[in-house]
Amino acid sequence: MLNFFNGTATAMITPFSEDGSVNFAAFGRMIDYQIENGTDVLVILGTTGEPATMTEEEKEAVMRFSMEKIAGRAKIVFGSGSNCTAHAVEASKKAEALGADGLLVVTPYYNKCTQNGIYEYYKAVSEAVNIPIICYNVPPRTGVNILPATMERIASLKNIAGIKEACGNMEQICETARRIRGKCDLYSGDDNLNLPILAIGGAGLISVASNIIPKATKEMYLAVQAGDLKRANELQDKMLPVIDAMFIEVNPIPAKAAADLIGLEGGSPRAPLTPLEPAHLEEMKRVLRDFGLNV
């Protein structure tokens, strides 16, 4: 399926309070910040949201809160992938029942299944729900890679809306784009590659950096759509130091620190992730100030 969304999506962080609980007040302010700055889709409980260290009860509470707070002002995509197919199916069904517009389903991690196993995983999720599914390919985290021919097979399933590509290999991404064109959409899942992925026909992007700079991210996307690559490159050049800083340590450690610095109360990540190291925090402050943000 095509055109589930065209535009920018933010891979939302989940803010935690000092006692370790979800900080819903801060999360609500983050949601408003995104919508006010033009973000089209909020991706909640993806990798950046730290679902791996959240309980099922916490994740459901976050989903319910999100539905109420967003209230139709943007599309909502919930992360529902797992290393267990049965768990991914149940999580996807729950997200659909709670009102999600779509799902972000990461490949099975740690188990390192075959390409056929990847196809069967997405087939099982597709058959269990009726809302759009975005496959998520991030082999540096999962240990498995959706190869272009496999994604071509997956694209034939009834409600596959596209693939969030974060494999980091533009040659592979171009081949995937060729094979799925006209069947489902390609989304950038790597902020450093947002511009080239959009240039080869990407329908949009799912960004970590847009937690902090959503307006500039949307402006870059719109410049590409308008055919103004000069402006798009100027914007991407300006954003690149911020993008690089978002990955100075493993995601979402830097994004949460940056959110704190601009007043969004990102809070600390959950163990085994640790707060941003002092030297990196000073670098983050410098980068954000250079971008023009009040820190």
- Per residue in 28-45, pLDDT (tens digit) is 999 999 999 999 999 999
Name the residues annotated as catalytic: 136, 164
Residue 41 lies in a domain: yes
| 125-143 residue pLDDT tens | 999 999 999 999 999 999 9
Write out residues in the chain with pLDDT < 70, as ranges. Answer: none
Q: Is 272 a domain residue?
A: no
Residue ranges making up the domain that contains 45: 7-248
Q: CA-CA distance, 168 to 128, in Å (whole number)?
A: 30
Q: Is residue 271 part of a domain?
A: no
Instruction: Indicate whether 20 belongs to any domain.
Output: yes
Alpha-carbon Rg for the chain, nearest whole angstrom, is: 18
Residue 292 domain-assigned?
no
Domain presence at residue 158? yes
pTM over 0.75: yes
Cα separation, 174 vs 201, whole angstroms: 9
Q: How many structural domains compose the chain?
A: 1
For residues 289 and 291, what is the distance between their CA atoms, to the nearest angstrom? 5
Q: Are 107 and 138 in contact (CB under 8 A)?
A: yes
The answer as to whether 269 is a domain residue is no
> pLDDT of 168-211, one tens digit each?
999 999 999 999 999 999 999 999 999 999 999 999 999 999 99
The domain that holds 52 is classified in CATH as 3.20.20.70
